[in-house]
A and B are shown apart, each in its own frame.
Chain A
Amino acid sequence: RWDVLVLTPWLAPIVWEGTFNRDILNAQYMEKNLVTGVVTFAVKKFWFFIQGFMSSANKYFLAGHQVNFYLFPDNPEQISHLQIAPENHLFVIPVQNHSQWQNISMSHMDIIRRYICSQFQYEIDYLYYIDIDVQLFGHIGVEIIDTLVATISPWQYTTRRESKSYETCPESQAAIPKGEGDFYYTASFYGGSVAKIYKLTRACFKGVTEDRENDIEARWHDESHLNSYILYHKPTCLLSPEYYWDEEL
């Protein structure tokens, strides 16, 4: 791939189709006997997406390797029977519907952090968060497995940093000062080692809580906090917008 940036200035790979050989990466992954988890939330009307997400992720996400799916619905009865591959596991963990919270997505960070502490760290090595309203149309494989992985947002990969959706209000914990910023990352698909994701979710939730106490809401909510955290804790691997594409683009 000569047309795109495949290496960041801090030497993290940017994964595009054509830059990697999945067979080599699979061999390396299998040598280490790793288990990867996926966490996703299906709250309120989003239960509708469960079937589509689970059937496509089960087929295309790290196919052939053990994947633990951690599904957090607020209404478990609405989940129809889900088929999963023999090597995968599905954990359904009901959550409370925080209708008082302005944005449900804000508490996702805290839930993930708590469950890493109490459960995930004993079961998986790597953890990925994916929005439930996502369908996989092709294989997503072990090329995504690295210590801290963020996905470049498909809507903003061509814009200059001044026009990116970074939080500009300086009082917010998610603020990114003028003149800074590498890429704009989407909060719909990120992940990494369990330890690193623990730190990330803890930091983001801390930022959200502090903002709340000061009566501030970051413009893009947890995505603003994610971008702020990742600016200084640079990812060890970036996924190109191919990994999270919007059909409307």
Chain B
Amino acid sequence: GNGKVHYLPYYLPCPEIFSMKLQYTEEKPVQLFPQLFYQQPRVLAPERQDVLTITPWLAPIIWEGTFNSAILDSAYRPLNLTIGVTAFAIGKYTRFVGRFLESAEKHFMKGYQVNYYIFTDNPETIPNVQLQPGRRFVIVPIRKYPSWQEISMRRMEAINKHIAETSHQEVDYLFCLDIDMVFYNSWGPETLGDIVAAIHPGYFNVPRSQFPYERRSSSAAYIPDGEGDFYYGGAVFGGLVKKVYEFTRTCHMTILTDKANEIMAAWQEESHLNRHFLSHKPSKVLSPEYLWDDRKPKPPEVHLIRFSTVDKNYKEIRD
């Protein structure tokens, strides 16, 4: 035809995300701690002397022993918070939903309102799991991409879009978790923070030169030698819903930048997440207790495994 040609940059398939303005209240919840009796904290007697419990930018690193659940619950429960969880069950991964939800019902944010958002291409295969009162389960239909890498990387976009359309009105905090995992022990309000990342179980005791960061400078996820705080796992991240919206958008943009340059980062969105958290440091870091790999032997520093992988045959599941 003879109409005007519009050059929509092809690396922006969802322009509406970037123009959406979200209304949030800026105020952090005010922390009032009611009267409670507990053991006196001792200035010269730290509970954990074997692990780092604070980052150089003064964000807590959550290990068993560093926090008192009763104190935290006493401050958080009255706030009537709703915690959201996103998990992607695409293709054969729907088989993990039942166990994920049953274990979450036992261990995840007990006593709080929880919304589970299960993103799937196959809603009929999602089992019906009995939930505790105050907790609900929502199926979010999404399309399936041809390769598992693409499926993995498109999560950022899907989470971001869903926050903008739905979950920002329904939850205060949002955790984005992998579905092929099980809760074994308590996951509570000690994990709540503005921007929360978890240390990858394979790299918590390893020098930064050995972190599997993306090392090609042509990628937007590039981290040069000599830089890096921790290696964060892509299976667990979260925070205030507004903050999750912001960083999933940034990660999705860097992922698309790489796509436009025909490069895929070494560990897909996990590489982009690590790049992002290097420049925008998390306000709270979860120890590998919160992101464990059952194939690894439990080291003495990990007193408690709270959330861990389910043993699976990757070849069989992925394609």
Contact = CB atoms under 8 A, between A and B. Distances in A.
A11 B45 CA distance: 16
Contacts of A180: 35-37
B45 A5 contact: yes
Contacts of A11: 60, 62, 66-67, 72, 190, 284
Nearest to B75: A10
B24 interface: no
B7 interface: no
B285 to A, nearest CB: 11
A108 B57 CA distance: 33
Contacts of A160: 40
A177 interface: yes
A7 B60 contact: yes
Contacts of A3: 44, 46
A180 B53 CA distance: 25
B54 A6 contact: yes
A91 interface: no
B199 to A, nearest CB: 16
14 contacts: A4-B44, A4-B46, A6-B54, A7-B54, A7-B67, A8-B41, A13-B58, A24-B57, A24-B281, A147-B28, A157-B44, A183-B41, A232-B35, A237-B58
Contact of B58 (A15, A158, A177): A15
A5 B46 contact: yes
Interface string A224-235: 000000011110
Given A6-B46, A157-B43, A177 B67 contact: no
B56 interface: yes
B72 A6 contact: no
A182 B56 contact: no
Interface in B22-74: 28, 31-38, 40-47, 49, 53-54, 56-60, 62, 66-68, 71-72
A181 interface: yes
Interface of B: 28, 31-38, 40-47, 49, 53-54, 56-60, 62, 66-68, 71-72, 75, 190, 281, 284
Interface residues of A, dominant DSSP: loop
A179 interface: yes
Contact of A28 (B28, B32, B44, B57): B57
A103 interface: no
Nearest to A15: B58
Interface residues of A, number: 39
Contacts of A102: none
B66 A7 contact: yes
B44 A9 contact: no
Contacts of A19: 54, 56, 58
A237 B54 CA distance: 12
A234 B33 contact: yes
Interface in A197-249: 231-234, 236-237, 240
B41 A182 contact: yes
Contacts of A14: 43
A2 B46 contact: yes
A5 B59 CA distance: 14
Contacts of A9: 38, 41, 66-68, 71
A157 to B, nearest CB: 5
Given A9-B67, A28-B281, A158 B43 contact: yes
Contact of A10 (B33, B37, B46): B33
Nearest to A232: B33
Nearest to B192: A11
A14 B58 CA distance: 9
Contact of B54 (A13, A161, A232): A13
Contacts of B60: 7, 11, 13
Contact of A6 (B33, B42, B53): B53
Contacts of B284: 11
Contacts of B38: 9
A245 B42 CA distance: 19
Most chain B CB within a 10 A radius of its CB, from A2, A7, A25, A158: A7
User: Which 3 pairs of residues, A with B, have the shortest CB-CB distance?
Assistant: A9-B68, A21-B56, A13-B58
B59 to A, nearest CB: 8
A160 B47 CA distance: 17
A125 interface: no
B36 to A, nearest CB: 8
A135 to B, nearest CB: 24
A5 B44 contact: yes
Contacts of B59: 13
Nearest to B72: A10
